[in-house]
Each structure stands twice: as C-alpha cells, then as structure tokens.
Structure 1
Amino acid sequence: MPCEKSGLDKTQNQIGQLAVSLSMAFNEQHKLGVDLNGEQGGDFFNVRSPQAYSYSRNSEDDLLTSIEFDPATVDKLRATDYTVSFDANLNPVVTRNDNGQVLNSTDPDDANYVDVSDWDENLGSGEITFGGVTLSFNSGVTVGEGDRFEIQPVRRAGAGMETNVSDLDKIAAASFADIEGDLSIGQVSIAAGAFDTEDEYAFDVAADGSVSNIQPAMAAMTVNGEAFDPADATSQLTVGDRIQIGGISFTLNELPGVNGATLSISQSDASAGDNRNALAMQNLQAQSIVGGSASVSGAYASMVSDVGNRTNITEVNLDARQGLTDQLRAVQQSESGVNLDEEAANLIRYQQYYQANARVIDTAGALMDTILNLRG
C-alpha cells in the first residue's frame, strides 16, 4: 500500500499540487472567455484525477465509487496524502499522512475543514469533501468499522498535466461575459449554455445579505447547492456562500455596506481585438492560487528551496557517517587487521633467518665431513 514516507514523496506531492492548482485555475478562467470561432472556452489543460487505494482487509471491494477534485475547495489542496478510516459509528476520520493531524474542522475557511454534510452514518455511504477532493461511496454497500482508504490527491498529477488545446483559434482570449456592479465576488464559473435563454442576470444585495430585484424574475437561485427564496425574510447570504443563477456560479467575498450592492452578468459582445480574458489568464501567475496562499512562482521557489535544503542536509549527514565509518574501520584494523608493510618486513627478516640457518647447517656438515676424514 502506498504511503508517504520519503522526501521524494513530499516533492512529488508539491509538484502535483502546483500542477493541479495551476491547471484548475487556468481552466476556470479559460471558460470565462470566447475563442475566435465565437465559442465559449473549455478546459485548457487535462488534469490527472486524484488516486485512491482500498486496504486489502476492507469489508467490501467496491465501497469507494469515485474521487474527484472539488473546484469550490481547491484552495485547500495540500501537498500530502491522506488516510480515510471509519470509527465504530461509521463516521469518517480523515488523517494527513505527513503530520498525522486529523481533519475535524467545521469552518469552511479552515485548512482542516472536512465536509460530511452529505455523509449518512446510518447507511454508511454518501460523500466526503476535504483537501480539495470529494469522495463518493457506494449507496448500495455499507462501509464497516476499520475500513480504510489511502487517498493521493496530487502525488502523480504533475505527470498527467497536458495541454488540451492544439488549435490557436480555440484559445478563449476574449471575454465571454461582462460582470458589472459593486458586489464583491470571486471564483466565477460559467457553464456551457448559460446564456442560451437569457442574455443577462442581475440582482441586488442588502447589507444584511437579503436579495432583491432578481432579473429575470423567474431565474432560480441556489446557495451552497440549496434553493434560495429571496421572498423569505430568513433567507440571507453570508460571506463564502457559493451562489448559482442560470448556469453562472460564484463565491460571495464580502457583504456590501449600508447602501447595498448590485451585480449584473451579461454575455459579452466579443470581438477579434478583445484580449481581456487572455490578460486575466496571464494575471493568474501573480495570484494566490496554490493552496490559497501562494502564487505559482512563489510555490515553485519554495519547493526548490525545500529540495535544496534537504539535499544539503543529506550530504552533511552522509559526510558525517562516512567519517564515522572511517574511524570505526581504523579501530577495527588496529585490533585485528593486517598491516602489509609490517608483514613484508617480517617476511624479509624471516627469509634472512632461514638463509643464516642454512649456512650454519652447511658449516656443520662440512665440519663433520672433515672430522670423519681425519680418522682415515
């Protein structure tokens, strides 16, 4: 089972986080443009889907049905892997593999936010959103206590980043929509066919978050995926709400002041000289699109610095261990090793001893022969 243990894993995740953040931000901005053929822009980059692995001892084989990036929470995408397990009450427990931290925040602005609003612990199925990804579990099969999954949102995403547009005429450089008014919004997304029936959508927002003057009058508005009725006095917008009207989605950055604010989104009369969306795509390089806190260049510089620091630490540790190895070898050799110079000297000395003894024996033999000859 893959798990995050080495420095190489961390670097792979950092590269993947950079690739996914850039690809998704660029794709969303490209969809807000129109190409030279008058068509709305599509995905400029292909993004490798996040990976999930089931543990071999899970109660069933087909529990997890899909895992996808969540555009609304992509700012929470982190350079790490996760483990998703289930407790005795079948509630999901999401743990970061790099530091062992459990994600348990219910605050959407918190980096440790995990959304289990679509999870049914009674059925042991549903959806879980965290760290910029959404997991969907089989509604026909119940997870069991102790079931676990290894989630790798960005581990190999860098290798799957490819350009999806080869025809230059299909680069959506012109603006597809004109956004006017003083309501502060962000993360705008316009679905294909958003202006097929209406050319403009507009509404007013008061300081307390109430909505009025929706145009067209019959346009349906949803907030965080649920129907929003502006006639209901209790229906009010709050900061961070994800609003959708007529195929157009955006996030409310802040509430207006005492005088309220207006918003109007209409289809642009794009021309061949319109490069507003191209400039907007270019400006992405300076925006905090990586983890919601760093620009592409800043994240890349941080990654290179991190790799350099870890490489330097590894080299220092290697030199220290090599020095220790040399010291231990010297001690071992002094106790039980062989000194070749000393042994060569001993060999010469023994050879001289042998030659001297041979001369003594020869002399003794000569003396014995002389003595025997005297008797004759």
Structure 2
Amino acid sequence: MGGLMTFRSETLDKTQNQIGQLAVSLSSAFNAQHKLGVDLNGEQGEDFFAVRTPQSYGHKGNSDPDLLTSVAFDPETVGKLRATDYTVSFDENLDPVVTRNDNGQVLSGTDPKDADFVDTSGWTPGTGLGEITFGGVTLSFSGNNVAVGDTFEIQPVRRAGAGMEVKIADVDKIAAGDAGFDGEGASPLNSFKSTGNLDVSDLQTSHTAFADNKNYELKVDGTGKLTVIPPTAFTVAGTSYASDATDVEVDVGETVVIDGFSFTLDARPATGDTATLNVSQRIISATGDNRNALALQNLQAKSIVGASATVTGAYASMVSDVGNRTNITQVNLDARQGLTDQLHAVQQSESGVNLDEEAANLIRYQQYYQANARVIDTAGTLMDTILNLRG
C-alpha cells in the first residue's frame, strides 16, 4: 500500500500534470493562431481544440462550501502554467497564500512577469471577495466572504489531457488562410473597412476585434459626446465605460478603443453638427491561401509550453523523466528482492523445515529402531537358552 501511494504522489500525479500542461499549452496556442485565420466560407477561425477546465476542491472545514464560484484559464498568462497543483488559503488579513504542492514553495513574486507572481488587483481583502490570478488560472470568489483558514486545492492541468478534443469536424471550417489582421504576420491586408466624415487617425484593429459585433456606427457631436451603436463597452483615454454609459465626451487627441479596434479623434465637428464613423469587419476570402496553416505548423518550433519549451521538447522531457523513474523503480525492486531472499534464508535457517535434513534423520532413527529391535531379540534368545540349561 505504501508503495502504491508513493507511486501516485511521486510519479502518477506528476506525469498527469505534465501531460495536462502539454495539452493546455498546445490547445491555447493553436486556438489563438487559428483565430487569426479565415476558413473557406470567409469566416474567422474559431477554437480548434476544447480542453478541460481547471479542477478545484474546497476543504470540508471551510466556512462555506460555495465560496469559490469559478476557476478558468487566463489567456493572458497561460504561459505561466506549470505541471503542479496548488493550495490556496487565507491569512488573518484575508490575503491569499498560494503554495505549490510539488515543492511547497509559496508564490511570492513581485514582478508581474514572474511565474510565481500572484495578481491580487481584483481582490478585496476587507470583504474576502474578488479574483485571484496565478499560474495561468483565475479564481473568482463571490457571494459569501471567505474566512481565515479557508483552504482550496486547485488542479489547473491534472486531467486536462483527458478532456482535450477537436471541436471542428467540417474541414471547410479550418482557418488555413490569413485573415489579414493588421500587425499580425506582417500581412498587408486590412481586416476592416470604414466610412463616414468623422475626423480620426490611427484607425486600426487587433486580432480580437469585432468579437461582439461585426459593424459599428459611431457618432460625435460638436461637444465631443460619443454615441456607440450598437451599445458596447469602450474606453476613452484609458478610462473604461459600460455599454449603457451616456454623456461621455471625447477630446481632440484622445484615443477611443471599442471591441478591439481603436482610433484617435483629430477634430470635433462644428457646434450643432454631428459626424459619423462606420466601421465593419472585412474578412478576406481564403481560397488558395495557406499562410495561417503554415503559421499553425510553425507552432511546433515555438516555446509555448511554460514559455520555455517546445511541444516536442516538453514531450521528450516527460518521456525521459518517466523512463528514468521506471529504471530507478526496477533497480530498487531488484535490490529489495535480493534483501527479501536473504531474510527468507536466515528465517528458514532458524525456524524453517529442511526436507533433506528431516529425511536423513528419519532414516537414522529407523536404523536405530531396527538395531534396538535386534538387541531385544538377541536378549530374548539368551534368556530362553539359559532357562533350558537348568531344566
């Protein structure tokens, strides 16, 4: 039983996490690149792979069983995924304490780029609510407040490999063509078209543009008041506004970002006038275009696993690790078997039964019996002879 538990904790869990890390890293990178392409129907690529979400378990002694509402992969920090589980607890100030289960290290990085950095910008210690991001995952707590000592085990990638599957069955939906997003792959093509009389500059898109809607109409009056149709959340000069925000004014020179595209206002309309800007997504036909397919192929040479290893390199490292552990286990087994045989021989020499020795003793005792029987027989004959002489 002890051997099985040791195998599980030192080999099985670690290997499952390594396979899961490989699956999530490959799926995330492949999906992100696939979305930069366009399929034969002229539609932007979708997620190619589905992967199992991170698993979480609350301690049975927690103040409430429903404190942790969701655990999800964070696309922005997926490169920080590591092949390990985590324990999350809360100190006397309700600040999260995140510990790696494989080596007991407490995550305490101060640089957001560090793998051991815990992002608590969305966490409110006073209320014990909010979001915590670390190791490529985001934990959301809502409802009841967490209490001191509440503990959770987070398994980001433990069984992710078993949940990895292909989402696209129709080959026409494989986004092999280059969608022409600005700034992506040095493509000279545009991903949008615009019309209108609003005086703007630096109109551009990112690869995530038009996720909510394919067409937008923007209106700016003489006071700089901005109206977005259909209503969508946006930012002006770095300040975020909800989709239902009204009376938001844009000054000349400020940058507006809406659903992945952005522009800078160069001039306001004259007083009493309203200028418009229509922006819509324009996907280029992918017939005969395989540039995104080549980009997908090139992922095999990129360090996408833990931001430090290629898929092939990570897989080879995992196989080597399992092979080394198997060899060590076999050597230990042989050594323990030799020791077992020695102990068995010692035990048998002290209290065991040697069949050869017992057979020899049995023959010797039989010979003793036969000799004694002849002595008795001879004594009887002598007594009879003596008695006959007297008669």
TM normalised by structure 2 equals 0.76
Deviation at 1:230, TM superposition (A): 11
Cα distance in structure 2, aligned partners of 1:296 and 1:224? 37
Q: Which residue does the alignment assign to 2:260?
A: 248
Aligned match for 1:31, one of 10, 29, 35: 35
Aligned match for 1:142, one of 135, 141, 145: 145
Corresponding residue SS for 1:151:
strand
Aligned match for 1:69, one of 64, 73, 81: 73
CA 1:328–1:351: 2 relative to 1, 3 Å: same
Aligned match for 1:270, one of 282, 285, 290: 285
Q: Residues 19 and 158 of structure 1 are in contact (CA less than 8 Å); yes or no, is this contact kept in structure 2?
A: yes
Cα distance in structure 2, aligned partners of 1:18 and 1:147? 31
Q: Which residue does the alignment assign to 1:284?
A: 299
Q: In the alignment, residue 247 of structure 1 is paired with which amino acid?
A: D
Q: Which residue does the alignment assign to 1:5?
A: 9
Q: Residues 95 and 103 of structure 1 are in contact (CA less than 8 Å); yes or no, is this contact kept in structure 2?
A: yes
Corresponding residue SS for 1:347:
helix
Q: In the alignment, residue 211 of structure 2 is paired with which amino acid?
A: A
Q: Residues 40 and 285 of structure 2 are in contact (CA less than 8 Å); yes or no, is this contact kept in structure 1?
A: no
Q: In the alignment, residue 345 of structure 1 is paired with which amino acid?
A: A
Aligned match for 2:113, one of 109, 113, 138: 109
Corresponding residue SS for 1:197:
strand
Deviation at 1:195, TM superposition (A): 4.7
Aligned match for 1:157, one of 149, 155, 160: 160
Q: Which residue does the alignment assign to 2:202?
A: none
Cα distance in structure 2, aligned partners of 1:331 and 1:225? 82
CA 1:284–1:226: 2 relative to 1, 3 Å: farther
Deviation at 1:342, TM superposition (A): 1.9
Deviation at 1:326, TM superposition (A): 2.1
Alignment of 1:63-212 (within 5 A): 63-138=67-142, 140-180=143-183, 188-190=207-209, 192-193=211-212, 195-197=214-216
Cα distance in structure 2, aligned partners of 1:182 and 1:283? 12
Cα distance in structure 1, aligned partners of 2:295 and 2:62? 47
Q: Which residue does the alignment assign to 2:321?
A: 306
Q: Residues 63 and 142 of structure 1 are in contact (CA less than 8 Å); yes or no, is this contact kept in structure 2?
A: yes
Q: In the alignment, residue 215 of structure 2 is paired with which amino acid?
A: D
Identity of aligned residues (%): 68
Say whether 1:346 aligns with 2:365.
Answer: no
Corresponding residue SS for 1:126:
strand
Cα distance in structure 2, aligned partners of 1:226 and 1:374? 141
Deviation at 1:347, TM superposition (A): 1.5
Q: In the alignment, residue 271 of structure 1 is paired with which amino acid?
A: A
Q: In the alignment, residue 163 of structure 1 is paired with which amino acid?
A: V
CA 1:350–1:317: 2 relative to 1, 3 Å: same
Aligned match for 2:46, one of 42, 47, 66: 42
Q: Which residue does the alignment assign to 1:335?
A: 350
Cα distance in structure 1, aligned partners of 2:29 and 2:257? 21
Q: Which residue does the alignment assign to 1:358?
A: 373
Q: Residues 194 and 246 of structure 1 are in contact (CA less than 8 Å); yes or no, is this contact kept in structure 2?
A: no
Q: Residues 28 and 189 of structure 1 are in contact (CA less than 8 Å); yes or no, is this contact kept in structure 2?
A: no
| Partner deviation per Cα, 1:144-172 (whole Å, 9 max, x = no partner) | 11100000000001100011111111111
CA 1:359–1:189: 2 relative to 1, 3 Å: farther
Q: Which residue does the alignment assign to 2:384?
A: 369
**Structure 2 gaps, min length 5:** 187-205, 218-232, 242-248, 262-279
CA 1:334–1:324: 2 relative to 1, 3 Å: same
Cα distance in structure 2, aligned partners of 1:300 and 1:74? 18
Deviation at 1:245, TM superposition (A): 4.3
Larger radius of gyration: 2
TM normalised by structure 1 equals 0.79
Q: In the alignment, residue 84 of structure 2 is paired with which amino acid?
A: T
